[in-house]
Amino acid sequence: MHTVFRIGEIRKIDKKSPLYEVELKLTPDDDQQLRQLTDRVREESSGSTGWYRMGKLLLKIGQFDKAEELYTALLEQASDDSDRAHIYHMLGMTKNDKGQYTEAAPFYEMSLEIYRRTLPEDDPSLGPIYNNIALVYNHMGDYSKALEFYEKDLEITKKALPPNHPDLAMSYNNIGSVYHDLGDYAVALRALQSAFQIQQQAFQEGNPAFASTYSWLGRVYCGMKDYSKALDNFEKCLAIDLKTLPEKHPYQAITYSDIGDVHRLMGSYEKALAFHQKALNIQENVQCSPLQVATTYINLGETYREMKDYSTALTYFEKGLEIREKKLSKNHPDLAVVYHNMAKLYLATQKYSMAMKNIQQAVETAQEKLPSTHPHLLEYKETFEKIRMKM
């Protein structure tokens, strides 16, 4: 292996100088974590200059603030529109990874605006931008808008690439994710299976590209209430993450909490708590999206609610709700999930007025963004009727 260092602090040498000083810590030759990471980085951290490659690397290892600092500095020095368009795109990715979705969208849109001045509408270079804009809209709960941009990406990708190209798998993966969020699990499953079939042709088993597909398959099977298949896919995702990502990476925490939630749904509450705690041990000690932490809090709350430990459940619901209310728009479907959980808690503790207040919020919020046939909305309405009968 070449000489490799861990990146410490990045600082400008002088205000008038374009040079930066980077603190580096030498890694040993037998660092197994580094070997796994190197394989992944070789595939995913390409770039035209060393600084651009470093920025991508910082994003891959979860150093989002350092990546943002670097790309902001590069933007100040950019000499042409091509460089600016690329840097705007990378700043959008950085903001997205930090969970700052409303701030990510303008960066992507500025990048797209520059590229469209000189490129035809079906140019392959536009595909990743459409994809990332879709991702932001998906995170913001605007699933129909997300699907529109994902389909633009898929249309371009189909024209530009052979039918077994890995990038096409990624497009199907993303479309599967948004159909999951729309509650159309059958269509989501077909899209994800298309992605998986392409990946099987393109990669060896255990390649990092499979991780996202396994993760979304797990979520779709959860929605379909096939918990054994859900757990199998989440465990495959985790096995890949543990081999290919740095220790205590935010993605590992997401998968731990997903596994915990499947155990809850299967009635294995102690296992569920153990996996959620593993997630929190990462999320509370490394930089990650606050919304990911919120999801773990809410999953913990739901586990404690089903265990009838209502005071602990309420504490976690309130923690998760506080973050989501700060970070999400008022009509985001993820807020409805918490309102519904709290409504069920108040129903169980016979606080019917509080239960009714929360279930009304859940229904009203969900109706703004979800289709009328969405399983979550139907469940909220069923809970509403249960509470109404008690009042």
Provide the angle, in degrees to the nearest 10, between the axes of the packed helices 166-181 and 126-139: 20
Average per-residue pLDDT for the chain? 89
Q: What is the DSSP string of 246-271?
A: -TT-HHHHHHHHHHHHHHHHTT-HHH
Going by pLDDT thresholds of 50, 70 and 90, the confidence category of residue 45 is very low
Closest CA to 171 of 187, 149, 186: 149
Q: From CA 156, how far away is CA 146, in angstroms rounded?
A: 16
Interval 60-71 mean pLDDT: 85
| pLDDT beyond 60 at 285 | yes
Say how many C-beta atoms besides its own lie within 10 A of residue 264's C-beta.
24
Instruction: Tell which wins on pLDDT, 83 or 354.
Output: 354
pLDDT of residue 1: 47
- Was domain 59-160 assigned CATH 1.10.287.130? no
| pLDDT beyond 60 at 37 | no
Task: From residue 299, give the alpha-carbon distance in Å to each of 86, 149, 279, 357.
Answer: 37, 30, 11, 21
Could you tell me how far CA 254 lies from the centroid of its own chain?
Answer: 8
| pLDDT beyond 90 at 63 | no
Going by pLDDT thresholds of 50, 70 and 90, the confidence category of residue 80 is confident
pLDDT digits (tens, 9 = 90+) for 109-118: 999 999 999 8
Query: Any alpha helices (H) in 245-374, and if so which ranges?
Result: 250-265, 269-283, 290-306, 310-327, 333-348, 352-369
3-state secondary structure of 6: strand
Say how many C-beta atoms besides its own lie within 10 A of residue 314's C-beta.
18
Look-up of token digits 């595939």: 43
Going by pLDDT thresholds of 50, 70 and 90, the confidence category of residue 8 is low
**Taking phi first (over 0 means left), then psi (-120 to 50 degrees means alpha), and beta for anything else, what does residue 183 get?**
left
pLDDT digits (tens, 9 = 90+) for 179-236: 999 999 999 999 999 999 999 999 998 999 999 999 999 999 999 999 999 999 999 9
Is residue 68 within 8 Å of 87, Cβ to Cβ? no
Q: What is the DSSP string of 128-183?
A: HHHHHHHHHHHHTT-HHHHHHHHHHHHHHHHHHS-TT-HHHHHHHHHHHHHHHHTT
> Residue 12 has which token pair?
């400008």
Is residue 343 within 8 Å of 383, Cβ to Cβ? yes
Is residue 220 within 8 Å of 189, Cβ to Cβ? yes
| pLDDT beyond 80 at 11 | no
Say how many C-beta atoms besides its own lie within 10 A of residue 388's C-beta.
12
pLDDT digits (tens, 9 = 90+) for 123-168: 888 988 899 899 899 888 899 999 999 999 999 999 998 998 999 9
Task: From residue 142, give the alpha-carbon distance in Å to each of 89, 101, 138, 179, 368.
Answer: 20, 12, 6, 12, 10
Instruction: Tell which wins on pLDDT, 19 or 78.
Output: 78
Is residue 158 within 8 Å of 186, Cβ to Cβ? no
- Spatial neighbors of 212 by CB under 8 A, at least 6 apart, are 170, 173, 237
pLDDT digits (tens, 9 = 90+) for 294-319: 999 999 999 999 999 999 999 999 99
Interval 376-391 mean pLDDT: 96
pLDDT of residue 181: 96
pLDDT digits (tens, 9 = 90+) for 334-344: 999 999 999 99
| pLDDT beyond 70 at 119 | yes
